[in-house]
A and B are shown apart, each in its own frame.
Chain A
Amino acid sequence: MSKSFRKEFPMWIGLVSGVIVIVDYFFNISILSTLSKEIVQWRNIVAAFALALGVGNLTRIHSHAISQKKEYWFFSILLLVTMYGYLALGLITTSKSAPYRFFWDNMFQPLSGTWYSMTVFYMTSACWRAFRIRTPQAAVMLGAAVLAMLGQVGIGQIMWSQLPAIKNWLQGPFTTAGMRGITIGASLGMISMSFRVILGLERSHLGGVGE
């Protein structure tokens, strides 16, 4: 098949489905409405198929590491065994079975929760390292952060009874204004970026080689 067909055909499939979803958003046409709902659901299904690509990528990288005896190759074995073992367990016994739940409850869940909780340590180092009054604007950011922090806990209320009100003021009008300004600008960026993707003007994903 010709080279341009290989490029154009996927683009047209995308264009048609994208346009259907957008037209359905603006216009009430029953057939498009049904189709658009289907398309959005189809996308989620296709995306689920893509998960196997992730499995493939990990398998390739880690079997390389093992066969070439790269540094840490032993851990690659651990990864592959865990991944395929858990995958088999889930596919054979389903995710509701007790053994599957055991690993989910006692490994996945605490590990994942612990990862999130690590943020507090990095917040600590950010507080120590990053908040320096180098410019007047940095001073304003620092001041707002300190007031907001003290205003939202009991100890701040003991220190100064007005702190919660100040915190609410900073997190109210100022945060609304600053974040809304960013949101309006960013939404325009998102719309035009997405529009280019639909029209095929942005096509690095279609085997574009940066031409």
Chain B
Amino acid sequence: MNILKTDIRWFHAILVLVILVPLFRPMGLPLTITKPVKDAYDLVESLPKGSIVLHANDVAPSNEAENWCQLLAMVKHNVAKGHRIILVSTVAEGPMYSDRIRREIAEPAGYVYGKDIVVLPYRAGNETAVTALAEDFQGTYKADYYGTPSSQLPLMQEVKSMKDIAMVGCWTSGDLGLWYIRQVEAKYRTPTVTGIVAVGLTLYGPFQASGQLKGLLLGQAGAAEYETLIKSPGKGLAAMDAQSMGHLYMVLLIVVSNIFYFQAKRQSAAAAGKGAR
């Protein structure tokens, strides 16, 4: 039997088990809080009650598993500290997630729509959309996501420029954070934090190192660390043991397949040697 030709579906089935078991029976593996996450936490912690926080919410189904729990963790922290929240998006799906934040977190905590939280509609144009809102916030959003004119929303009236924003959070799998660094942080010095998917480290690491980003949440691990800091365990923390086991499984697959590969190669080399004699 050649194990290298095993039906790949067996490995898929094992993977499901490897992920499922720790979700049912958490093992409590250690979690180190990384500095960029602590920095983000400290920033939110330092803002006074009533500060206006702008969340650029580019959560979509593709990055939901990673960015959504990050954003939730930080919004919970904002709500606990009494910060007022404005949500904007440059992806079409974003406002639908922002709407969930209003319904599921803000309003149950006693937030009043229009006064403490505002959900703004999606704006196309990527970086140009960010430039536009940075240059003329009220002009860019004449109405909110639900069609209410901004003039009727007290919170919108307070934001004259990006200087009125105490902090920007960018939640994305792509370049969104870079646009805010270039268009908002660089021009108005608004403290900016970013939550990105795990593969995004290469993209954002340099900006975190240079101080242009005040904090960085990386993948589910970033969310889990933040949840630990705010002492509100959520989906991010629940996932960490499963992450460990999944990683271990993949490493084992690589190692084991190579052991069998070399064994097979030695055998065929030996067989060829015999044939030559």
A141 to chain B, nearest CB (A): 11
In the complex, residue of chain B having the shortest beta-carbon distance to the beta carbon of A40: B128
In the complex, residue of chain B having the shortest beta-carbon distance to the beta carbon of A94: B147
List residues of A (70-129) whose CB comes within 8 Å of B's CBs.
96, 101, 104-105, 108-110, 112-113, 116-117, 120-121, 123-125, 127-129
Using known A-B contacts A124-B15, A131-B254, determine if residue A101 contacts B61 with beta carbons closer than 8 Å: no
Interface residues on A, range: 35 or more
In the complex, residue of chain A having the shortest beta-carbon distance to the beta carbon of B28: A154
> Number of contacting residues on B, CB 8 A?
43
B198 to chain A, nearest CB (A): 8
Q: Across the interface, which residues of B come within 8 angstroms of A175, CB to CB?
A: 202
B2 to chain A, nearest CB (A): 13
**CA A128 to CA B246, docked complex, whole Å:** 14
B266 to chain A, nearest CB (A): 13
Q: Is the CB of B258 within 8 A of A133?
A: yes
B163 to chain A, nearest CB (A): 23
Q: Across the interface, which residues of B come within 8 angstroms of A40, CB to CB?
A: 125, 128
List residues of B (129-180) whose CB comes within 8 Å of A's CBs.
145-146
List residues of A (39-59) whose CB comes within 8 Å of B's CBs.
40-41, 44
B contacts, CB < 8 Å to A: 8, 11-12, 15, 29-32, 61-62, 64-65, 93, 96, 124-125, 128, 145-146, 198, 201-202, 205-206, 221, 240-241, 243-251, 253-255, 257-258, 261-262
Not counting A150-B247, A175-B202, a sample of 4 additional A-B residue pairs whose C-beta atoms are within 8 angstroms of each other reads A104-B96, A124-B15, A125-B8, A153-B247
Nearest 8 A-B pairs (CB), nearest first?
Answer: A154-B29, A112-B61, A155-B244, A153-B244, A113-B61, A127-B253, A128-B253, A127-B250
A contacts, CB < 8 Å to B: 37, 40-41, 44, 96, 101, 104-105, 108-110, 112-113, 116-117, 120-121, 123-125, 127-129, 131-133, 142, 145-146, 149-150, 152-158, 164, 171-172, 175-176, 179
